[in-house]
Amino acid sequence: MRWRPSAPALALALVLALAVVLPLGPSLPTASARTSAGTPIVFDDGPRHRCYAVQEEHYDPEPPGHAPNPLKDTSGCSALDDPQRVDAACADFGHTGPWGPACPAWKFLTVGWYYQKTPDPDSGDFRKFPGYDVQVAGAEGAPLTVSLRNSARATADPCTLREVAFAYEYPSSSFRRRADGGAYGLADGSALRVSYDARVSDGGVYACASEHRASLTTDLIYGYGPEGARKKNVISVVHFNPDAPAPPPDGVLWRHCDTGGCRVAVAAPEQLPAGVSSHISVEFRALAQRYAADLGHPDGVPADAQIDAVQIVSSNRGTDTGVDLTGTEVVLE
């Protein structure tokens, strides 16, 4: 589940050496090999295999008659069978390998949208305008193209934040474990790099007067602290938000901490151009160290900081965007 503190909406900012955008051309490349040096720490970089589900999150208690999105695909899960991925709690997902039931290797996440809100089967937002959609295209075993559509401009409440995301989540689900069985953390390796190719289409019209948001972010979620008092932090990097104000000199557009953890939002100085495929690369270990004080770590990043999730998020208020992603990698260098 996507972790979010109870706080105002974010706007976002960063440093060129840490978050890089390189234009590639008008269409997404058909990469067939990994591009980052180092150790891949997700089971399905690319992604390359159809082994996914959809997870919804809502601001209010789920109303009577609500139905979650049933979309899933287990056809590529066998290629990812591994004893590390066994989890009896995921039996309902529908894939059981030689070691037992396994979870989705990756997910689509939504916030603020409903597949079905009431007993009326036509009461949802999936594959409608306004509404949202998720698609997967490409040959099994090659990097797939994952598409996110987030069409919020014509909603009755256009200033409500709505999100559609691609996500790798949790050790033994999306993330591999170390040879000793422990989860990977920010203390492993000298760098934690997330990279992918993206193209964003932007409707360019905003129906929410209070905030013009049409953003694409790369988010790292990590946990730390003892069991029973564990906290979760989020570092968000914005690559696209064409009508946002300029970032302040320190590069941080938004920060918030509460008893559950901290979130810091920063953005690359070179924003992704609309309609152009670009390569994005973010080095999160350096960001965690750079913004340690903002993340509630006055003495530096804790040694037990564990990688919980990497998410690529379309986040809109009152506007329409589409995002195509391919070649996603999460690598320790």
Neighbours of 324 (CB within 10 A): 19
CB 97 within 8 A of CB 103: no
Q: Which two tokens stand for residue 121?
A: 């089967």
- Residue 171: is the preceding peptide bond cis (ω within 30°)? no
Give the tens place of pLDDT for each residue, 139-151. Answer: 999 999 999 999 9
- Residue 298: is the preceding peptide bond cis (ω within 30°)? no
The confidence band for 203, taking pLDDT boundaries of 50, 70 and 90, is confident
CATH code, 19-293+305-332: 2.60.120
* Separation of alpha carbons 13 and 24, rounded Å: 22
* Separation of alpha carbons 118 and 116, rounded Å: 6
pLDDT of 28:
54
CB neighbour list of residue 27: distance below 8 Å, 6 or more residues apart: 199, 277
pLDDT at 2 over 70: no
Give the tens place of pLDDT for each residue, 126-173. Answer: 999 999 999 999 999 999 999 999 999 999 999 999 999 999 999 999
Give the tens place of pLDDT for each residue, 210-262. Answer: 999 999 999 999 999 999 999 999 999 999 999 988 888 888 989 999 999 99
pLDDT of 31:
43
Q: Which residue has the tokens 């069991």?
A: 227
Q: What is the mean pLDDT of the chain?
A: 90
pLDDT at 14 over 80: no
Higher per-residue confidence, 326 vs 246? 326
If you write DSSP's letter for every residue of 273-307 in order, what string do you get?
A: PTT-EEEEEEEHHHHHHHTTTTTT-TT-S-TT-EE
* Separation of alpha carbons 84 and 102, rounded Å: 9
pLDDT of 22:
57
CB neighbour list of residue 301: distance below 8 Å, 6 or more residues apart: 186, 187, 288, 289, 292, 295
Mean pLDDT, residues 113-128 taken together: 95
Give the tens place of pLDDT for each residue, 32-78. Answer: 455 567 899 999 999 999 999 999 999 888 888 899 999 999 999 99
**Domain range list for the chain:** 19-293+305-332
Q: Which two tokens stand for residue 221?
A: 């979620």
